[in-house]
Structure 1
């Protein structure tokens, strides 16, 4: 008898399903002529509760998405089960195969997903970007903090435009990047993922990166670019002790005036499709359970209408790590109410929502709110209408010659000349020299890259000598000093005309600290191992010593700064980094990078950024020279620049007027060079203690020898606003100083007044 009932019930289901699909609310979500909101509202009522919740979850491809030896898609039973009712997205499918293979895999994966959920809802494939697209076979750019050193937002936008194009061509749709966090504590292992310590510089870089990766938003729907996810909202870079997952304590005034602006610009100016919540708490409130932050500030105040995604497993961690929820279910509800739309990876959080609705039906309204945001994103990206990649376009578009050239161009504008005693640089490639390339940051291809720049006149010997750590992925260990390796490098330096030392840190000495005992933060910021001893002994040979500093966190390079004849700070450059460095060493290009951070003498000076309150500078420390080793915005050139004739269009500004600032900059050197002209403003008297100075504008210009240019900036009332005594934005009448120059510590200045 039961078998006889199957056919009528199935027929009724098919009839209802068919009618609902074509005429929910009288509209068909497949109709591309409808607005995005209309299509979302046509689709949402068709979906079951379980299907809705599936659109609020992302899993990682490493649980069972791969290809066989013939490139065919293989899915684990676990993945097949997940995809029966659809999914919000999958992280990093095809990340370990080349772009063409990844595009084919992702086409096959997307086809499977669309054909195996009732409504044909496509999935978002998600990547990240720290050196370009984090996947095999893409152009490898420098890390974000190296890009920030270029002080060239237009260049950064072009770089991220390549990221967006290459990611889309391999079948990706969203990028859990860029970071809008400020990084002011070099103990923090993730320092190089962000754009530095300054609010204004970070804002310019983040908005440029988002506009680039999203193709000025227009690239989303036409299938050429991917959506950005600005992270980590908010204050994540300020963890106490520089220790990942530690508490975050930031005053409300600092949040509003310094931490929020890059995120606000990401939302309002760059139109980021997504935002990721912060791992940490914020003044005692876990960010993933903070409705005032994720809904109040982000949506109500700024008008954000994209989706908010959790960081890895962080909704569940409200219960078992943060301990602000009484149960896993309570953690899920807390995240949902706060405004988290997508749960990243967890099986013990939003997976519980269907059962929770049975006892609390009101939850479904919040679920619908989140699902609308996810579906809207998929429609914006055009995935319902054009879900697949055109394979013949992949080879032409990934690692194109123009992209590789851009990586080199970005390197050349990001290298910072910190020291050049007696003008030891640039070296003359036409002079017969023997050069020793020495030190733990020498790579296998370093010698070949230098040879490609200089030709046959220069002879090279190369020796890495020693590694800094044992390379363990979780918690790397420092290696014991190797006196024989040091002695070998010293002898090589003796036999050379010039020694170039590659010092600093690597991916093992500065990295993200995960759960499961994976460490990446440091309690000190001195160079690790025997690097100081190495430079001291090679300096004692009497040979010129040039240091190429590679690193992912700021280092207190006291000994290096004292002993080196020249220092090139390269942070972490592109795949062509050593070639670009050689081109600068031999004078093909004058260095033009500037420090995006302050370089302290000791970790004991922390917190230590240039825009601290003026009162922070009143006293130094016993037995330590005052000030940093190098200040924010600092960077030398092979040319020299003279600043003069600083003028204001008016000595007064009102809430309704602007002042034009002009300055003449002249290249008084012998080579063509680029200079970053920086404008800082100091509020002399405030109702609350004010920063010593704040970067408000910059312009990178190029000058021939003897050439002068007039650079102009505008001072607007908005630049002078700050959060006052009553925790509202104020413009206060009084005296201000404008400082224009080559760094935060070297400038000429004049004054103006704000009158009301």
Structure 2
């Protein structure tokens, strides 16, 4: 009996030792990421888990003192006791090196003051490069979309990823994968355009760039992307932020989802942000079919989903689809929201809610697992700090600034060039007036720098501003007749006038949740006396060039009718005026193309080139036919002729591909770039079909007299659409392929799909 007892104790002791020695340590670098997450998660209390599901903004008490050392408020210290998923924008208003130093100290504090040493994600955004002080300022996404050059966009976002990481950031609530088609919407320029295919190519490039093609994440050189806003956010009714979103299920699947699907499947985005809005009555932050069914079950997304600002709580007090704040938290959790951005009245309730409903912990574990996995992918457990010497060398490098200029030059769109007004001859003695409300303080200096030692003499005068430039809801200023008269008098004494017109960051911006903040507009005409200024100056008989700067599409009817030349620059980089001057004086030929349709009137909305064919049946009384400028439009100093369009086979099957090709010749006198665009039209469908759809584009450069054959592969996948049964179908029949310089100017041929 005694021997039996000893043997039993030995077996128990051996088993216990075996269990302890086989237990894995989440700090063990030799383990896989999933094994490390599995080892860490069971150690955490419910309160620690929920802390990994929350992000707060650094402005509540994270800042450097006068010597650059970290200072934390009592509120922040309290929040960090259990750890945190992340902090938004730490160090955004200080230079990169000081920010990196502070973020190192902040990360060290976080790691040393939670039980398991879990690091935090520091999160930024990117609309003109990294949204922080001292980084390279690029053009906005809509601007870079006008380049129709995905490779260039990827290089631009590669710089964004590097500069963000060097100042201690890890994730970016960008890029926007929204398709935007309503210029009333104040956030229009944050996205990449109206066309599904163009947006998809640009979003893939942006995500790959900012993440260093995914390989830059664990290497510590890049940051993770959070594609947003899933889904349909750019389609808010009336172009009004926070309004309802009404999209047919077919449009949602065929036109709105593809950029997000590509961000997940092809670019491997680490994060997705849910949309402020609803989808046909179902609030996106409580939409399990969307955030779990589509995103994860259909597309296989493995990253985390973050709420937009305070939007889980808003399921209760704004969307009014939850009975209480706690119900809103449960709705968001069940739908698949892993991280709660900013709110104090949603996921903060989860620890208490678990006591009443223990089953919720399974969903909490699911979300925390995704957050921890992201932190391991980024290498933060093993290498959480930034080398300040690298920050000094890597942010605003010469190559990055050169890239900003290159991006500008490929993004400027020449809308009009009557009688070859452009380019101007910088060797001819000319007095050039730089005038108008969108003139910058350094515009004259940039123009002088661009033309160098020449015979051009510049005079610059802003004249007036468009708004009072104050507060969340800026007010338009009254007409200033003296300022207008001054500009006209300067123009009289000049040979050529360059007018800087359009809109600015006060006339198109995000309309935040507060009622005192507005950013959307009920009209898209240029604000203030800009049309009057154009009429008065063009009446002088001078050559008038308009440089359009804006963050939303404008119905520029007067400008289009009166100006001799129009350069549409959207919102360029910090070197935008210099780049514009280089184009005006012919150093570079413009090659940008319209990423959106430019309508004549707000009354034409909704209006985009790929509408159903039946939408084009009738025009409006007392309004010109069609848009002012079509999607894909953009002139050049070269002259491109399209000939010899053909397809490699007149028939395609569900298992084959064909090639469409065209010969493009530069019959002009200067070397220039051209965007060759391929559109496909389904002639007969079981449901009404788009008039045409962009399915390919390629940017080429040709010397005078040079020709090139440009080829596109047409795949069966390009011809799929959602049929009557709401399933993807591939229908036999006739198709037309159109290849040309815009959605309105092309040559065409036909092919058949046979089954």
CA distance in 2, matches of 1:676, 1:25: 60
Deviation of 1:395 after TM superposition, in Å, equals: 1.1
Q: Matched residues in 1 for 2:451 and 2:590: separation?
A: 18
Partner of 1:496: 494
Q: Which residue of 2 aligns with 1:367?
A: 364
Q: Deviations over 1:412-464 (max 9, x none)?
A: 00000000000010001111111000000000000000000113411111110
SS in 2 for 1:571: coil
Match of 1:195 in 2: 192
Match of 1:667 in 2: 666
Structure 2: which 5+ runs fail to align? 1-15
Structural mapping, 1:480-559, within 5 Å: 480-516=478-514, 517-559=516-558
Quote the Cα distance in structure 2 between the aligned partners of 1:403 and 1:454: 22
Residue by residue over 1:631-665, the C-alpha shift from the partner in whole angstroms, topping out at 9 and shown as x without a partner, is 00000000100000001100000000111111100
Q: State the distance in 2 between where 1:599 and 1:60 align.
A: 38
Query: Which residue pairs with 1:297 in the alignment?
Result: 294
Q: Shift of residue 473 of structure 1?
A: 2.6
Give the SS at the match of 1:527: coil
Q: 8 Å contact 1:437–1:499 — kept in the other structure?
A: yes
Structure 1 residue 140: Cα displacement? 0.2
Partner of 2:572: 573
Residue 261 of structure 2 corresponds to which residue in structure 1? 264
| Matching of residues 702-717 of structure 1 within 5 Å | 702-717=701-716
Instruction: Give the equivalent residue in structure 1 for 2:154.
Output: 157
1:599-634 deviation per Cα after TM superposition (whole angstroms, max 9, x unaligned)? 000000000000000000000111111200000000
**Could you tell me whether the CA contact under 8 Å between 1:234 and 1:278 is conserved in 2?**
yes
- Is the CA contact 1:25–1:42 (under 8 Å) kept in the aligned structure 2? no
Structure 1 residues 615-630: aligned runs within 5 Å: 615-630=614-629
- Written as runs of structure 1 = structure 2, the 5 A alignment for 1:7-18 is none
The answer (yes or no) to whether the contact 1:539–1:545 under 8 Å persists in 2 is yes
- Deviation of 1:574 after TM superposition, in Å, equals 0.1
Map of 2:473 onto structure 1: 475
Paired with 1:545 and 1:24, the residues of 2 have a C-alpha distance of 81
Name the SS of the counterpart of 2:82 in structure 1: coil
Structural mapping, 1:69-468, within 5 Å = 69-456=66-453, 457-468=455-466
1:504 and 1:555 in contact (8 A); partners too: yes
- Partners of 2:660 and 2:75 lie apart in 1 by 62
1:639-650 to 2 correspondences below 5 Å: 639-650=638-649
Give distance in 2, aligned partners of 1:142 and 1:23: 56
Alignment check: 8 A CA contact 1:24 1:45 kept: no
- Offset at 1:587? 0.3
Partners of 1:414 and 1:191 in 2: CA distance: 16
Partners of 1:595 and 1:322 in 2: CA distance: 36
Deviations 1:313-343 (A, max 9, x none): 0000000000000000000000000000000
Q: How far does residue 472 in structure 1 lie from its aligned partner after superposition?
A: 1.6
Secondary structure of the residue aligned to 1:322 is coil
CA distance in 1, matches of 2:470, 2:180: 25
TM-score normalised over the length of structure 1: 0.97
Give 1:133 shift.
0.1
Instruction: Give the 3 Å change call, closer, same or farther, for CA 735–80 of structure 1 in structure 2.
Output: same
SS of 1:83's partner is helix
Q: Could you tell me how far apart the structure 2 residues matched to 1:646 and 1:514 are?
A: 49
Change (3 A) 1:358 1:675: same
User: 1:27 & 1:178 partners in 2: Cα distance?
Assistant: 37
Q: Within 1, Cα distance between the matches of 2:80 and 2:268? A: 30
Cα deviation code 1:365-399 (max 9, x no counterpart): 00000000000000000000000001100111000
Work out the CA distance in 2 between the residues paired with 1:581 and 1:339. Answer: 46
Instruction: Count residues in correspondence.
Output: 737
**Superposed CA offset, 1:109-159 (max 9, x none):** 000000000000000000000000000000000000000000000000000
| Deviations, residues 65-121 of structure 1 (Å, cap 9, x unaligned) | 000001110000000000000000000000000000000000000000000000000
Normalising to structure 2: TM-score of the pair? 0.97
Residues 695 and 520 from structure 1, CA distance in 2 versus in 1: closer, same or farther, beyond 3 angstroms?
A: same
Distance 1:172 1:390 in 2: 13
Question: SS where residue 383 of structure 2 aligns?
Answer: coil
Q: Is the 8 A contact 1:473 1:508 kept in 2?
A: no
**Partner residue in 2 for 1:11:** none
The CA distance in 2 between the partners of 1:603 and 1:747, in whole Å, is 27
Q: Once superposed, which parts of structure 1, at least 4 consecutive aligned residues long, lie more than 6 Å away?
A: none
Q: Give distance in 2, aligned partners of 1:202 and 1:675.
A: 19
Deviations for 1:176-204, whole angstroms, at most 9, x for unmatched residues?
A: 00000001000000000000000000000
